[in-house]
Every structure is written in structure tokens, then in C-alpha cells.
Chain A
Amino acid sequence: MKRLFALWATTVGKKVAMAVTGIVMILFLVSHMISNVLIFKNPAHLDSYAAWLRSLGPALWIARVGLLGAVVVHIVAAYQLTMRARRARPIAYDRHEKQVTTYAARTMRWGGVLLLVFIVFHLLHFTTGTLHPDFHPGEAGRNVIEGMQVTPVAIFYLVSMLALGLHFSHGIWASFGTLGFHNPAYNQWRRLLAWGVAILVAGGFATIPAAAILGYLK
């Protein structure tokens, strides 16, 4: 534990924490996305998935606390490093021509904030039902279909998934580097893997609000 704190004390260590917590969140989102798209097969699938999750009992709570912990550590590190970067250049350049920075890399911070807003909204929407027009506890499939009929909400989901895909595309690529994995033999595959996972996960999620907007999900 002492060693983990020693690592956290460095800027490199905070990035390591972001990479590890990011990967934890990504692994969760991969499974979450796969179970979500089952709604196209039959809305009841989502209900049984939700019921199965709840049947896990204490294990579900461990997973929830773990995910919440990952989100908190990720955000605290992001905040601290962002503030540090601001302080590191108190006087801006008159001209600064970025050569290779990608759009995804440039939007990690504000994109991350959008994802945080999204996560809070999403939990109030489908977990607690606070922001749902017609919430029925236990009927996850029905709640999703009803909830997505509100077009502005479905559009917000789509935009958030775009942000998620961008965040993943830089995040997954960067986490290899942060964790020190690099090898000329597979370096070129890192970008491809990052974009592949980003498009698969964000695209998979996006099919649901997209189908609702186009009238296929009723």
C-alpha cells in the first residue's frame, strides 16, 4: 500500500492510476454494451440480465464500489494533472502550432467532463429512475425503450457515445504507453486496437438510441 502511494505521489504514477482505472471501466463497458444490445433480440433479455445482476447480491455491491472507486480515482488524477499542466505554462504563446496532437487527445479533459455528466444522468435515468418519465422497477427492457422515445434524451445518448469513442481511442492507445508496454513488433497495432474497441463499444451502445430515433425500437 505504501508503495502504491509512493507511485501515486509522482505525475507518472497518477497516469498509471488513470490507465488502470480506465481499463477497469472499459472492461465493464464491454460487458455492459454486449448485454445491452440483446434488447434487439428481445426486451425481456435485458430484464433477465438486470435480474441476474441483482441476484449476485454482495458481489454486485463489490463491483459497484469498485467501479465507483475507479471513477473517483480517475477523475481525481485527471483534475490534479490538469491543474498541474495549467500551472506549468503560466504565460501562453502568441503562436503555438501543434504538429501531431489528435482531436481525441485534445478533448480528453472536456470529453471526460461530458462523460461524467453522462454517467450521473444515466444512473438517474435507468438505475434510480429519478429522471425517467415512466419508470417501472425491475423492467429494464421496458424502461430503456420508453426512456429512449424522448428524442432529446436519445440525442444526448448519441453525443455522449461519440465522446466515449473519442476518449477510448486516445485512452486505450495511451494506456499502453503509460503502463510501459511498447515493442516495435506490435506498436503499430495499438492504434488499431484502440480504434477497434472504441468503435465497437461506442458504436454498440449507440445503436440503441439511434434505433429509437429512427423508430425501430418501440
Chain B
Amino acid sequence: MRLTLKVWRQAGPADRGGFRTYQAHDVSEHMSFLEMLDVVNEDLLATAEEPIAFDHDCREGICGTCALMINGMPHGPKHATTTCQLHMRSFHDGDTITIEPWRARAFPVLRDLVVDRSSFDRIISAGGFVTAPTGSAQDANAILVPKDQSDLAMDAAACIGCGACVAACPNGSAMLFTAAKVVHLALLPQGQPERSRRVLAMVHQMDAEAFGGCTLFGECEAACPKEITIENIMRMNRDLMRATLRDRGDREAEALA
């Protein structure tokens, strides 16, 4: 099929940037979206123009590196699918496709479609370590976890940190990401010793990174390629309230406030 691509081009963080239009010929419906961009870049190599920069790594939908706003939807039109797992059969011959980077103050554009997501890394590192021993495997039944709890924890742990939640949110909020990271540990026995300290530190870091607040629009949940639900945000809210109003006591937490 033939496609028209309207792509955001920006030479560097300080460049103003703008859209450029490209024609993609001979696109097979079996190609992934990133393979289609690879082919467009091959063509660009034959010209004086720089290839389009975009992020990708595993191309298996597990690393969270690929991150494109496709036709106004993070990771494109297919539900629960990362950009690398999106195939061209989701589009039609003759379509015009708009491709933009994630837009958030906390995700500055580095080049073209590549944004700097280290604000997410700083939220994670604010969460700190768990004191549960992780070195040698212990007896599988030594710590009992109810099945429904472990299921919820595993659902939250499926977050790959791609940033689609921030990209989709009308407020540019990172609540779904932060909640997934807080909640998967808060639901498990191994996460209990640092539970209060962790939620306080991660929410404070999230706010310090200039993300917006949550108004429960639900756009993050709809955009998430790993189907993280907004119930996690509700769990984190409760954890934060408990940590602030009841459990605060340890000095590190006091220092944060």
C-alpha cells in the first residue's frame, strides 16, 4: 500500500521543529510500524535528508522503548499493543498517518520522535531498594501470598514504563506509571517494610518532575499497551493518604515533606 506520513522533525532539543511530509510506497501490510519507518529511512539515506530518529529496542513489546504518537493515539489505534507490535494491516491504502513524539514538559524532545524519559528513571530510583533478600532463592512456599493479591501485583508489574499514559493524559500526568510501580510492591509481603517511605518518595519525585495532576479521565488506562488499570491509582492514593496521615514517623519521610 501507499501511505502519506506527516512526521515531526526536530534537529535537537533547542530546535523549534516542525512537520514534514513523506510518501511511503510498497508498504506491506505484514510490516510492523517500525519496519515501515525503517523502509522510509532507507529511502531517506539516498537523499540529502537525515533519517527519522525514533526509539526502539526489543521490538517484541516488552522493553517499553518504542514510543510514538500515531494519529493522535499513543502506540496507534490498536488496543493493548506497543508501536513495535503494531502492524500495517491496521491502516488502509492511501491513509495519511500523523506521527508525533510524546508531548510533556517532563519528556523533552531530544531529536525528531525521540524523547528523554529519564524523569521516569528518577521516580523509580526515588522508590529505593527493598530489604527483602533477593540473592538466594528461598523455599517457594515460605511466604504465602493470596492468589488474588499476587495476580493484582503481577498485573501492576506488567508496566514497561513506555510513557504512553503520560502521552495520552490531557493533564500530562504520570499517575498511572507511578501507581503501577508503587502498587506492585505494596501488594506483596516483600514490599511492606518500605511501603510508606516508598509511596511518599515516589509521589514527591513525580510532582517534582513537573507532571500534571490526575483527574481520572481514564485516557491512560485506554492507551496503556499493558492494560494497567486506573484502580492502581486509587490504591496508590489510599497508600499515600495512609503514609502521610498515619504512618509518617521515619525520618526520611519527614525530610521529604
Residues on A close to B: CB < 8 A?
2-4, 6-7, 9-16, 81, 84-85, 87-101, 105-106, 108, 173-174, 176-182, 187
Contacts and interface: CB of A to CB of B under 8 A. Distances in A.
Given A3-B244, A12-B214, A94-B19, A88 B204 contact: no
A10 B72 CA distance: 30
B100 A88 contact: no
Contacts of B203: 10-12
A174 B212 contact: no
B21 to A, nearest CB: 12
A85 B212 contact: yes
Interface in B205-257: 206-207, 210-219, 221-223, 230-231, 233-241, 244-245, 248, 257
Contact of A88 (B8, B98, B173): B173
Q: Which 8 A-B pairs have the closest CB atoms?
A: A180-B238, A88-B172, A95-B72, A88-B212, A97-B72, A85-B171, A11-B213, A85-B212
B109 to A, nearest CB: 8
Contacts, number: 149
A65 B46 CA distance: 72
A92 B72 CA distance: 11
A7 B175 CA distance: 16
A74 to B, nearest CB: 14
Nearest to A105: B217
Contacts of B217: 98, 100-101, 105-106
A179 B214 CA distance: 12
A6 B244 contact: yes
Listed residue (A4, A85, A88, A178) with the most chain B CB atoms within 10 angstroms of its CB: A88
Contact of B215 (A91, A105, A180): A105
21 contacts: A3-B244, A3-B245, A9-B257, A10-B207, A11-B173, A12-B236, A12-B241, A14-B213, A84-B212, A85-B170, A85-B213, A88-B172, A89-B103, A89-B212, A94-B19, A95-B71, A98-B217, A99-B219, A179-B238, A179-B241, A182-B234
B239 to A, nearest CB: 8
A116 B223 CA distance: 34
Nearest to B178: A12
A100 B207 contact: no
A206 B140 CA distance: 62
A178 B19 contact: no
A27 B240 CA distance: 26
A161 B98 CA distance: 40
A95 B219 contact: no
B69 A11 contact: no
A15 B72 contact: no
A87 to B, nearest CB: 6
Question: Which of A7, A12, A182 is packed against the most chain B CB atoms within 10 Å?
Answer: A12
